Amino acid sequence: MEKPIQIDDIGGKMATEAATGGATEVATLGGGCFWCTEAIYQQLKGVLSVESGYTGGHVPNPDYEMICSGETGHAEVVRLTFDPAVISYREILQVFFTNHDPTTLNRQGNDEGTQYRSVIYYHSPEQEATARQVMAEMASVWDGTIVTEISPATFFYKAEDFHQNFYRDNPYQGYCAFVIEPKLAHFRRLFAAKLKGA
């Protein structure tokens, strides 16, 4: 099986220049199956790239089968590169907290296991502070207690090619049609002004 690629730059500011000529930033988020989270952020204005992958575990170079065992400690996440001149980290997190259920421990819908936990991996003290503030603000939106983990970013392992752009490449696949599409419809209603092309 193809092994994921390890990417170990965990800094929040990237040397890469955005289309606007300014520095880009990175966010790493886990909100259940990364196919769903990837599909949402790919449509958000100011998000320049989205990669599905694994982080937060204790086993080096994990693959999807290892992750699914629940024994590596990794979460399914997306790593976003975004232009903070177009969309702020705070807005990235507002999308995050309204497009998955952060009150369910290690579960999103029928996807169950620690790899599906709600988690924010911060890349700087500023991101940590913003994450804690936004999570506190979002507590009133949900009936249950938010259980989202907030932890420092560690090694990111890019998932296998099969998992990249999954919804875009397979929109009629069963999981995409019955799980991802309803989430996207909800997202598009809430954030219509923030969509690419809006």
Residues with a catalytic annotation lie at 33
Bridge partners (DSSP) listed for residue 149: 119
3-state SS class at 47: strand
Biggest CA-to-CA distance, the chain? 44
The answer to whether the beta carbons of residues 119 and 68 sit under 8 Å apart is: no
CA distances from 46 to 24, 41, 75, 113 (A): 10, 9, 25, 31
Q: Would you state the torsion angle of the CA atoms of residues 96, 31, 28, 80, taken in this order, to the nearest 10 degrees?
A: -70
Exposure letters 166-186 (e unless 16+ CB within 10 A, then b): bbeeeeeeebbeebbbebbee
Q: Which residue is listed with tokens 């890469």?
A: 16
> How far is residue 65's CA from residue 107's CA, in Å, rounded to a whole number?
18
> How far is residue 143's CA from residue 95's CA, in Å, rounded to a whole number?
18
